[in-house]
Amino acid sequence: MLGETKSGMQCTEFDALLAEAMDGTLTGERRERFEQHKAGCTACGTLFAEVSSGLAWLDEMEDVVPPPMLVHNILAATSGAAQAEAKTEPRTPVWERLRRQAGALFAPVLTPRFGMSMGMAFFSITLVLNMAQIRIRDLTPHNLSHTFYSSQNKLMRYYENMRLVYEIESRVRDLRNASEESERQREERNRRYEKNKNQTQEQNQNSEPDRLEPREHAQWLASLIGNERSIGTNFGSLAKQRRER
Amino acid sequence: MLARFAVPHGRVAEARVEEAQIVAQIVRRCASGDAVAWEEIVQRFHRRIYNICYRFAGSADDAQDLTQEVFIKVYRTVSSFDGEKASFNTWVTTVTRNLLVDHFRKTRNDRATDSLDATQGADEDGPALVDRLAGNSESPQTHVESRERREMVHQALQQISPDLREAVILRDLQDMDYREIAQVLKVPEGTVKSRINRGRAELARLLQRTYRQAL
């Protein structure tokens, strides 16, 4: 087919002009030769018919509409998500945007089940506070701090008191122990005294004369006194001699 | 079929030049770090890029991911764009095409067989293409028929080879001229025209064969 010449045109030339013929830009003498070749060449005539048919099918095609979020996604991928949102979404009032954000934020808790649970919890807490005689107005930061410091003072005082009590108890215990010790020592002393006394009596019995009669005892004492006087006399004579000297 | 030629060629060219100048200004602002200009680029081109990706990849999810990848790449390399070499439109399309080719190579092993009995990509529970073709004649609603035909063409488009598919998409679905397509595909204009013709013919044969099977 390719090298075949019909109506003054080769099939390769026909193929080259086919696109222009389809576009409608083939005119004049070239158009006539093209048409003649198409009529005379079965292969090229068939090719022309197929190309025309294909073009007809394709001309029915329309642009598809891109997904609505495509531009947003592209801008988010290139310029950043925040910038994309600001530029692609239509402008809405601030309160509307806040309301939407709040709605989205609290959507999980705005359910009947959650509301019932919250109600029960509130009722229970109120009941407990009433039983504990705690008023709601006591729960302000100022009152709470006041309560905290007063409770802390009470606790400190209680602690100090308990320490004093324990100290007193400890002292009493020490005194009791000390008194018991001194009692024990006194008893020990008495025991030793008795023991020494007994021993002394035994020694005295051995060194002193046998039990004397009152008269004999008086004589013994007089002898002792006489000895003392002689000693005094001796001391007196010595003093006299010294003065004389 | 020839709706794209309703406007005279000269006016189309003028409109394109004017559009290209506006886009060039926006791109310059974007390259200097203007975030508003970048958003304008995304707004102007996202639909076009998404459609190219959707027609080539066949799936809406893939198209969305690929479109994002394209714009991320454009965002990173926009400062390297040279307006004297090509228009921004051509440059963006080239970036898109390169990513699509990469995607095609990566997913080659995962791709389904080229049977037209394959179901619709985005709707796996939908009827097979053959079944939908058979049911077309029975449907009384033109709108529904038209939508189903478009879906069939979209499915058939996935069956032709990638070289032909990309040329057909850029020409017949994105309305690019041959010179721009040649720049994007990096092949001569003659090759572009040849691929477009072969792609259209392949698509027609595919749909006719499927239609005959349905009958």
Q: What is the pLDDT of residues A76-130, one digit of tens each?
A: 888 664 454 455 555 566 777 787 777 777 777 777 788 888 899 999 988 888 8
Query: Kind and range of the H or E element at A59?
Result: helix A42-59
Selected residue with higher pLDDT from B207 and A215: B207
Q: Is the pLDDT of residue A242 over 80?
A: no
| pLDDT (0 to 100) of residue A171 | 93
Same domain, B162 and B190: yes
Contact A59 B42 (CB under 8 A): no
**Token pair for B60:** 């809406």
Mean pLDDT value across residues B108-136: 48
Q: What is the pLDDT of residues B18-42, one digit of tens each?
A: 888 888 889 989 888 888 899 999 9
Same domain, B119 and B167: yes
User: Which CATH number is B168's domain given?
Assistant: 1.10.10.10
Same domain, B158 and B74: no
Among B residues 107-136, those touching chain A with beta carbons less than 8 Å apart? none
Mutate to test the interface with A, among B148, B193, B210, B211 (most CBs of A within 10 A): B193
**Token pair for A111:** 């359910």
A30: which residues sit within 8 A by CB, 6+ positions away?
A17
For chain A, counts of helices (H) and of strands (E): 9, 2
Same domain, B99 and B132: no
Contacts of the segment A65-72: beta carbons below 8 A, 24+ positions apart = A65/B47, A66/B46, A66/B47, A66/B50, A66/B51, A66/B64, A66/B67, A67/B60, A67/B64, A70/B46, A70/B50, A70/B64, A70/B67, A70/B68, A71/B42, A71/B43, A71/B46
Q: What range defines the domain where residue B200 resides?
A: 114-215
Selected residue with higher pLDDT from B24 and B3: B24
- Predicted interface score ipTM higher than 0.85: no
Mutate to test the interface with B, among A25, A34, A61 (most CBs of B within 10 A): A61
Among A residues 162-201, those touching chain B with beta carbons less than 8 Å apart? none
Share of chain B above pLDDT 90, in %: 44
Same domain, B119 and B191: yes
Same domain, B60 and B146: no
Q: Which of B49, B78, B111 is the last residue of a domain?
A: B111
Cβ of residue A55 closer than 8 Å to a chain B Cβ: yes
User: Which CATH number is B24's domain given?
Assistant: 1.10.1740.10
Same domain, B105 and B120: no
| pLDDT (0 to 100) of residue A50 | 93
Q: Is the pLDDT of residue A211 over 70?
A: no
User: Minimal Cα–Cα distance from B90 to chain A, Å?
Assistant: 19
Q: Is the pLDDT of residue B194 over 90?
A: yes
| pLDDT (0 to 100) of residue A231 | 67
Amino acid in the structure at residue B192: V
pLDDT band for position B114 (cuts 50, 70, 90)? very low
Selected residue with higher pLDDT from A99 and A232: A99
| pLDDT (0 to 100) of residue A98 | 80
Q: How far apart are CA A103 and CA A231, in angstroms?
A: 129
User: Minimal Cα–Cα distance from B194 to chain A, Å?
Assistant: 7
Contact A54 B50 (CB under 8 A): no
Share of chain A above pLDDT 90, in %: 23
| pLDDT (0 to 100) of residue A80 | 61
Cβ of residue B153 closer than 8 Å to a chain A Cβ: yes
Same domain, B147 and B213: yes
A65-69, B92-96, B129-133: which has the minimum mean pLDDT?
Answer: B129-133
Find chain A residues with C-beta within 8 A of B201's C-beta. Answer: 47, 50-51, 54
Q: Which of B52, B83, B111 is the last residue of a domain?
A: B111
Cβ of residue B2 closer than 8 Å to a chain A Cβ: yes
Highest mean pLDDT among A225-234, B1-10, B65-74: B65-74
Q: Is residue B94 part of a domain?
A: yes
Q: Which of B111, B134, B159 is the last residue of a domain?
A: B111
Contact A55 B149 (CB under 8 A): no
Contact B46 A63 (CB under 8 A): no
Same domain, B46 and B139: no
**Token pair for A57:** 């099918």
Q: Is the pLDDT of residue A141 over 90?
A: no
Q: Is the pLDDT of residue B154 over 50?
A: yes
Q: How far apart are CA A50 and CA A63, in angstroms?
A: 24
With CA atoms as reference, the chain A residue closest to B46 would be A71
Contact B99, B66 (CB under 8 A): yes
Q: How far apart are CA B147 and CA B123, in angstroms?
A: 14
Contact B177, B135 (CB under 8 A): no
Parse chain A into domains and list their residue ranges.
5-56, 137-197
Contact B46 A66 (CB under 8 A): yes
pLDDT band for position B5 (cuts 50, 70, 90)? very low
